């Protein structure tokens, strides 16, 4: 009966309800967009490392994050090969450089990754096969997910990286996240020659364990062997560290985290205003129900149920519009915002939570008032 009353109350004035639903939908859409950006930032934080195949990684003691990695001695890292359970190592060189567009002449910061071609460091076999062209002096592969300021460049095009001529002889598809608008892959020789980093001092060393090796045991051996001047992290520890930096230290991550919290609060305020207006609009009807014997709990259930029904109705168009906007973000500005089942369930739960809190606050006036005073 009480749920039926909430439904009839909502459908009494359909035009008014549609106006209110637009406001609720907007608050839910705002939460969708902020959470989409928040999740995209988390994905971006590990986007580069996700390309590579490794079980553990060696980092310099002064490592902060991928764009401020410091250097470690390769000779020291090579001692890891003597540790039982270690199959191979692959040095990784990272730096931000200035790439000049050959047509516009404009220069933009780009992430440059130097790799040992023979180490085949990538997860994707196609990427490893594409490294063969980097044996050519000053050759490079350009990320197809780079912003338009960096390309697209035809295969064989010559351009400049930090004032040195390089030739784009292939491409790959990944994205550099929020580190820069694009990325390049070059050989370790080319990286050293153009960016001045000695091959003997990489920024990180990727380690792969032997098949059947116990990860915990091998990791413990590595930490004992290399303790002091080298950090040893598992893949999961590295990803957790990068995400913590981007979400809790980096201004972009802090902005998106704060935005998600603010979106929830703004949504709750909007829902409270809508439900409070509804309560005020039907105040005489609620007074009549209270005079007829309905308790405060009954009326609370009616208001909160109406809020839940309106939230559920506003959620559907908000989710559809958010999915469309996510597609625009992915294709237009290369932000990996994705609509997932987990995100849908989270936003729906958060919306119901906002609605419940708002309903409890909005119904207080009826609960404490005397029916005679409401007429």
pLDDT digits (tens, 9 = 90+) for 157-195: 888 888 888 998 888 888 766 677 788 999 999 998 888
More confident residue, 132 or 150: 132
Helix (H, G, I), strand (E, B) or coil at 315: helix
Among residues of the chain, what percentage have pLDDT more than 90? Answer: 14
Q: Which pLDDT score, from 0 to 100, does residue 294 have?
A: 67
338 pLDDT higher than 90: no
Q: Which pLDDT score, from 0 to 100, does residue 93 have?
A: 93
373 pLDDT higher than 60: no
- The answer to pTM > 0.85 is no
Strands, E, within 177-227: which ranges?
Answer: 183-187, 204-209
Helix (H, G, I), strand (E, B) or coil at 143: strand
Count of other CB atoms within 10 angstroms of residue 312? 14
Task: List 112's β-bridge partners, or say none.
Answer: 95, 184
Of 45-54, 138-147, 287-296, which has the strongest mean pLDDT?
45-54
Question: Once rounded to an integer, what is the mean pLDDT over residues 324-337?
Answer: 82
Task: List 52's β-bridge partners, or say none.
Answer: 122
Token duo for residue 343: 């995100």
What is the H or E stretch that residue 114 is in?
A: strand 107-115
What is the H or E stretch that residue 166 is in?
A: strand 164-172
Going by pLDDT thresholds of 50, 70 and 90, the confidence category of residue 7 is: low
Among residues of the chain, what percentage have pLDDT more than 70? Answer: 86
- Where along the chain do its domains lie? 2-44+251-374, 61-229
pLDDT tens digits for range 348-360: 998 888 888 877 7
């Amino acid at each position: 009966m009480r749920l039926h009353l909430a439904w009839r109350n909502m459908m009494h004035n359909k035009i008014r309800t549609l106006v209110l639903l637009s406001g609720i939908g907007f608050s839910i859409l705002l939460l969708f967009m902020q959470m989409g950006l928040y999740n995209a930032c988390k994905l971006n934080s590990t986007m580069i490392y996700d390309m590579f195949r490794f079980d553990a990684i060696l980092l310099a003691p002064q490592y902060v994050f991928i764009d401020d990695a410091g250097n470690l001695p390769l000779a020291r890292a090579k001692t890891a090969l003597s540790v039982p359970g270690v199959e191979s190592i692959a040095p990784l060189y990272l730096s931000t450089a200035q790439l000049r567009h050959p047509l516009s002449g404009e220069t933009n910061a780009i992430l440059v990754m130097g790799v040992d071609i023979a180490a085949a460091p990538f997860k994707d076999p196609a990427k490893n096969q594409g490294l063969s062209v980097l044996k050519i002096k000053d050759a490079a592969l350009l990320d197809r997910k780079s912003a338009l300021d960096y390309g697209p460049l035809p295969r064989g095009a010559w351009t400049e990286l930090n004032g040195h001529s390089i030739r784009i002889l292939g491409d790959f598809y990944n994205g550099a996240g929020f580190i820069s608008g694009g990325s390049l892959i070059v050989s370790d020789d080319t990286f050293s020659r153009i960016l001045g980093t000695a091959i003997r001092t990489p920024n990180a060393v990727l380690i792969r364990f032997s098949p059947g090796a116990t990860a915990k045991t091998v990791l413990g051996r590595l930490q004992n062997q290399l303790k002091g001047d080298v950090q040893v992290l598992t893949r999961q520890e590295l990803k957790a560290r990068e995400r913590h930096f981007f979400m809790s230290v980096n201004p972009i991550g802090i902005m998106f985290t704060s935005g998600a919290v603010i979106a929830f609060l703004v949504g709750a305020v909007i829902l409270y205003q809508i439900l409070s207006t509804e309560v005020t609009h039907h105040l005489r009807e609620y007074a009549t129900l209270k005079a007829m014997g309905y308790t405060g709990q009954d009326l609370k259930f009616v208001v909160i149920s109406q809020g839940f029904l309106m939230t559920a109705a506003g959620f559907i168009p908000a989710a559809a519009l958010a999915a469309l906007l996510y597609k625009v973000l992915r294709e237009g500005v290369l932000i990996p915002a994705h609509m997932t089942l987990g995100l849908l369930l989270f936003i729906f739960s958060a919306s119901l939570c906002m609605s419940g809190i708002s309903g409890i606050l909005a119904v207080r006036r009826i609960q404490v008032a005397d029916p005679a005073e409401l007429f």
